[in-house]
Amino acid sequence: MADSPVSTKNIYPYYAKSNVDKAGKDTATKGQLGKDEFLKILMTQLKNQDPTDPLKDKEFIAQMAQFTSVEQLSNMTSELKLMRQSLGIASSLIGKEVQWSIPSTKTNEEPKIGTGVVESIIMKEGSQYALIKDEQVNLDSILRISNPVPEAVKE
């Protein structure tokens, strides 16, 4: 069988190290497999499978179910990200008093808490930030949102 023209170096689970190293060279998505990459792997596996031992029906159905799950999870993640970063929802924070966590620079120190009124919302590098007293606070670090107490009540 050593002279067999069928190679096992590109059939799961015997992927050749050189093939694995070539996969995912794009630095933006390096180390991440999406639905397109999963489909390419599946199609390559089907093209290069051993004709004397093709995929069993159960294995093929299981892989197709995995592909469907990967696609649905990918779509759900995208929708959740869009919902979380909806500018309409974030803009409702303008004029509200917020409390946020300021991470400590020292290892065993508790995070500090900041408080202030949101002046505007900023989109930067795919994330939303609240502008509070010239400080940009990531919306993910906000702990509490409330209506500001009027000055007459404070006195």
SS (H, E, C) the chain: CCCCCCCCCCCCCCCCHHHHHHCCCCCCCCCCCCHHHHHHHHHHHHHCCCCCCCCCHHHHHHHHHHHHHHHHHHHHHHHHHHHHCCHHHHHCCCCCEEEEEECCCCCCCCCEEEEEECCEEEEECCEEEEEECCEEEEHHHEEEEECCCCHHHHC
Taking the C-alpha atoms of residue 39 and residue 132, their distance in angstroms, rounded to an integer, is 46
Between residues 155 and 133, the one the model is more confident about: 133
Sorted by where each begins, the domain ranges of the chain are 17-84, 87-154
Could you tell me the pTM of the whole model?
A: 0.45
Taking the C-alpha atoms of residue 90 and residue 111, their distance in angstroms, rounded to an integer, is 24
pLDDT of 132 above 90: yes
pLDDT tier at 1 (50, 70, 90 boundaries)? Answer: very low
Between residues 42 and 10, the one the model is more confident about: 42
CATH topology of domain 87-154: SH3 type barrels. (2.30.30)
Query: Which tens digits make up the pLDDT trace of 54-113?
Result: 666 677 677 777 777 877 887 888 777 777 667 777 888 999 999 999 887 887 788 889
Q: What per-residue confidence (pLDDT) applies to 117?
A: 94
